[in-house]
A and B are shown apart, each in its own frame.
Chain A
Amino acid sequence: MKNVISQIINNENVPEIFSYAINNIYRHGPIDISDLEILTYISIYNKEYFDKNIDKVLNFMGIFYKQNFQSTTLEEVIFGQYRKHIRDNFNQHYTPVQSQILYKIENSKCYSFSAPTSTGKSYVFLKKIKESQNDVVIVVPSRALINEYLLKLENSIEDKSINILPFIDKINTKKSKRNVFIVTPERCRELFKLKEQFQINLFLFDEAQLSNEESTRGILFDGIVRRCYKNYPDATFVFAHPFVKNPDAQLIKNHFVFDEKNYKQFNQKNVGQIFFLHNKSDSNFYHFGIDKSLMGNKKVNSNFDPIKKILNNNGSVLFYVSKASIKNNKVFDDFQEYINLCSDYQAEEIDEYLNELIEYTGGTTDKNRDYYSKLISYLKKGIVIHHGSLPLKIRSILEKYTNRGFCKICFATSTLEQGVNMPFDLVYLNRLDGSKPLSVKNLIGRAGRSTENYKFDFGFVIVKNMTDFRKIMEQDEVLATTSLLEINEGDKDEEYNDFKEAILNDTFDDDLNLTENQVKKLSSEEVFVIIKKLLDIIFENDKIISLETLNEDEDEKLDLYESFEKIYSNYLGRELSHGEQNVFNTAIKIILWKVHGKTFKNICWYRYSYASLSNYRRANKNRPNLLNNLPAKFFTEYSEIPNKNLNPYNALSGVLAKNVDYDFIISDTYDYIDKLIGFKLIDVFYASLIKYHENSDDYRAIKLSKYIKYGTDNERHILMLRYGLTFEDIEVLDEHIFFISEEEIIVKKSIFGLAENKRNAIKRYI
């Protein structure tokens, strides 16, 4: 059999081709990419024939969750029997893959598996989490995924006696019976501080391929797995991966006791896919198959534009693009004709999302005003812009918006860890370079939404380069079977080696989140002298000095910045380069704003106002010639530090002041807060202050450490933060909370006068 695509399009030998594919599926399951391509092509180009055979397709694929499922031949009865068998056992119409995962989790102490993106593993996990009698820990690679789990679990677990927490903590003890913790490996460390207080019977490591990452995160992941296994030997350990060929690697590398029943690679898919080439030169779309010998050597002209087809049928499209192309607006020009196909929603349908975003970011949808945000404005049309530098709060709102079905087009810079983890009808890969093959496969897996309707679900994937794409699709993803913890790596820097040693020797300081060596560097006499000076500057009569006072005395301000820098230099063991200094000083500025209670919106405003000279422009609004030539201020965007080769540069070089993009300011500010301050600087400053306090008994150090870690030293507010409220939430909810402790929250009646979305953050505790 060959040239299958052309044959189907020309309506030649369709019954034979169908038989070929369906017979394969009957025998081997829906695992071969070509079989599913064939079904998809027939369902598009010969719908009548396909519909006559739909029972076979859905039965043999084992898509048992379809409504009105029926079996009409004896072969189908086999599958129907199996469906009933699953239903009898689990009370749900799971697929064979889902039921096997459940069975294995229930009957093994450890289970490691991999499965394609559309497997529906989250339904299975949800069942296990719900049924668990004790505490559950879910470990995921990123905070974005924590958020996603949180949303899902909060929506589906109504029982308020189950705490669902994005960190390890013992709170709400009076009202809760057990906890579900969703944490990153970094946050999971807290578990061992409170070890005796929890009874954990399930550890769920999702997207566990993080273990393969050649970085401190990969090492930390393995370290955490081992510590959990050692400390909770009676718990069940589950590892989930997308696509990887050898899920047993996880068990081998972390020394689990297991046999061949404890792992499996699932290749079964629930949706079909076909692939298009978008040819730049003639702007046409072409069909092509992954297996050339079967599907055809040559690309075949598509008689429709797949993007238009999907959008016109109210479907959804994901464009995978680079962050740079979002920043410079190129993607919006490139795909303008599709953006134009999206008409505006009625205001009342989507206003709640827009308003929430405007309130949080301070942006506006008026193109002619300062603080204009394309990200918010595009939501009116159903267009979502999504990338890794969006604050979690914004992501949550966008994900809710997408979940409600409003998203027509999503522009995403999606790596697995950062993207919207949702299915689309079409995925357009505008780039393949610089992406991990596993992430690309994961992304492709999002093409095709599985529905409960009695139909064959499929999705489209569009690429710009067939050869590279085929290579990725045909490549196996293999995890290393030896942990980096056991490998002698000669070429790594001191910080990395130090970290690795600490994990191996169990000498990592969980309280301070640093290695022993790092803590030692921050406990030197030299650092203590600097800290004393810093405290003397920043406190005035036991209170943190106001920003106004600080700004009045330029020398003192410089001294303060220099003190922070010196602490960091000591930690690094070297002076900062000029480029690093620029980034570092911007971070300190943001820390100081946060210490003074400035919200995210405030900080974005300040930075925008500075960069775009908004006050100056307002004062000169009647001088268009001046404004049309006025450049933006020198702007230091976030860069990863330490990096001694970093040169200072102006991120707004060539940009006019009036054209500064507010969305850029939002994401850059979040990058500073999340990637630099939250991930690195807080630990350094917090540890140095704690150590100084141990040495000097200077209570100001504790006070500042709280400001730096939590943004406040108010114990009541710190408790609220521990319950998962943000400062934005606290601003609204504080006055309605009568009492708060580790045991419970008691609210005032007035809280029920607030709109539901204002109460959301606290609803599980009241």
Chain B
Amino acid sequence: MKGYSIIDNQTIEPHIKFLRINPTDIKLTLKNVLDSLMSMSWLYNFDKEYLVDGYKERCEQSINHISKNILKQNDSAVTSSSGEYVVSELARTSVVDTYSYLDVPIADLIKKQVVGNPGFDFYTLNSKKNILFGEAKYISRQSGHLKALEQSYKFYLQKQHITEIPDIQNFFCEESLTNCNKGEIGFMVAFSAKKTETKDFIEIIKKNKDYQELRKFKEVILIAVNI
């Protein structure tokens, strides 16, 4: 089960793509995220024996509750935190499935990701050995494309793609890491999308100054998640 369907797949420039996807099972995606988060927390090893049953039940309740809130576009801290995870995870799987790029599973990403530490949300590797750095933005009542573009380029300026190398180097080959050090990288810009049509999105994005900077890199994939 993929948990999404692709409703748009366009090429803006040879190295710039636009994917638009519909989540088909937010609960499934959330469950993947929650399971991965749980397995990384200290509680998981602390209490394997007695946690298992109770946790499963609780998890289901939370997933129902959160997904309902996401669908209703309720604006709470939990919804926005969960929404970001959902956008990130759906974008990641859709890129891996569509382009057959390297699959760095969410569990591994969470293992790497520092809780509360700002940084890229997901990663992949294209066929030309360029690491693509993914950033996901979820905004409950509007589309998150501008924020996602802004954040992606900001991280680049902060040299986040270099400082994160120690955390992610095990996922990637020597060549791709050398390329990364030379700045030969790409970006995946994922965002929650509302009713705006794809062509309008593309028009707006093309005019964006952060996008203008990002397009200078090896590859850019824009992923709009209808949520």
Contact = CB atoms under 8 A, between A and B. Distances in A.
Interface of A: 15-16, 18-20, 22-23, 25-29, 53, 56, 60, 62, 71-82, 84-85, 88-89, 96, 100, 103, 261
B115 A100 contact: no
B105 to A, nearest CB: 17
A78 B78 contact: no
A72 B78 contact: yes
B165 interface: no
A82 B46 CA distance: 12
Contact of B42 (A16, A22, A27): A27
Contacts of B61: 81
B13 to A, nearest CB: 35
Nearest to A26: B115
B41 A78 contact: yes
Contacts of B55: 81-82, 85
Interface string B101-122: 0000000000000111110000
Contacts of B46: 29, 96, 100
B58 A26 contact: no
B47 A96 contact: yes
B33 A74 contact: yes
Contact of A103 (B42, B50, B116): B50
Interface string B39-68: 011110011011100110011011000100
A75 B42 contact: no
Given A19-B116, A53-B116, A78-B34, A27 B41 contact: yes
11 contacts: A16-B117, A18-B116, A19-B115, A26-B115, A27-B40, A28-B42, A56-B115, A56-B116, A78-B41, A96-B43, A100-B46
B226 to A, nearest CB: 20
B59 A22 contact: no
B38 interface: yes
Interface in B118-150: 118
A590 B42 CA distance: 59
Contacts of A62: 43
A72 B81 contact: yes
Contacts of A27: 40-42
Nearest to A86: B54
B50 A100 contact: yes
A81 B41 contact: no
Interface of B: 33-34, 37-38, 40-43, 46-47, 49-51, 54-55, 58-59, 61-62, 66, 76-78, 81-82, 85, 114-118
Contacts of A20: 114
Contacts of B85: 74
A27 B85 CA distance: 18
B115 A72 contact: no
Nearest to A97: B46
B44 to A, nearest CB: 9
Which DSSP category, helix, strand, loop or mixed, fits chain B's interface? helix
B77 A75 contact: no
A29 B45 CA distance: 10
A74 B77 CA distance: 9
B58 A261 contact: no
A23 B77 contact: no
A79 B62 CA distance: 11
A13 to B, nearest CB: 12
Contacts of B54: 85, 88-89
Given A26-B42, A82-B55, A75 B115 contact: yes
A62 B195 CA distance: 41
A23 B117 contact: yes
B23 to A, nearest CB: 16
Which DSSP category, helix, strand, loop or mixed, fits chain A's interface? helix
A704 B175 CA distance: 95
A23 to B, nearest CB: 5
A26 B41 CA distance: 5
Given A81-B59, A89-B54, A74 B49 contact: no
A28 B45 CA distance: 9
Contacts of B50: 100, 103
B78 A73 contact: yes
A662 B46 CA distance: 54
Contact of A72 (B34, B42, B66, B77): B77
Given A18-B116, A85-B54, A88-B54, A74 B37 contact: yes
A84 B58 contact: yes
A396 to B, nearest CB: 38
Nearest to A89: B54
Contact of B43 (A15, A23, A82): A82
The 4 tightest CB contacts between A and B, nearest first, are A72-B77, A29-B42, A73-B81, A19-B117
Given A74-B81, A76-B78, A81-B62, 12 more contacts: A20-B114, A27-B40, A60-B41, A73-B78, A74-B33, A74-B34, A77-B66, A78-B34, A78-B38, A78-B41, A81-B55, A85-B51
Nearest to B83: A74
Nearest to A21: B116
Given A85-B58, A88-B54, A79 B43 contact: yes
Contacts of B34: 74, 77-78
B123 to A, nearest CB: 18
Contacts of A26: 40-42, 115
B203 to A, nearest CB: 33
A608 B46 CA distance: 58
A20 B115 CA distance: 9
A19 B118 CA distance: 9
A180 B37 CA distance: 44
Nearest to B113: A23
Contacts of B42: 25-29
B55, B61, B117 interface centre (most CB from chain A within 10 Å): B117
Nearest to A59: B41
A185 B79 CA distance: 56
Given A16-B117, A19-B114, A22-B115, A73 B77 contact: yes
Nearest to B58: A81
A73 B110 CA distance: 14
Contacts of B49: 261
A74 B82 contact: yes
A77 B35 CA distance: 12
A43 B33 CA distance: 30
Nearest to B40: A27
Nearest to B111: A27
Contacts of B66: 74, 77
Nearest to A62: B43
Given A72-B78, A81-B58, A85-B51, A22 B43 contact: no
Contacts of A60: 41, 115
A677 to B, nearest CB: 49
A20 B37 CA distance: 17
A428 to B, nearest CB: 32
Nearest to A81: B58
Contacts of A103: 50
A62 B44 CA distance: 13
Contacts of A56: 115-116
Given A74-B82, A79-B43, A23 B115 contact: yes
A60 B42 CA distance: 9
A23 B116 contact: yes
A20 B58 CA distance: 29
A172 to B, nearest CB: 38
Contacts of A79: 41, 43
A119 to B, nearest CB: 14
A15 B116 CA distance: 9
A26, A77, A84 interface centre (most CB from chain B within 10 Å): A77
B35 to A, nearest CB: 10
A22 B117 CA distance: 9
Contacts of A80: 62
A493 B50 CA distance: 50
Contacts of B51: 82, 85
Nearest to A84: B58
Contact of A77 (B43, B47, B62): B62
A67 B59 CA distance: 23
A28 B40 CA distance: 9
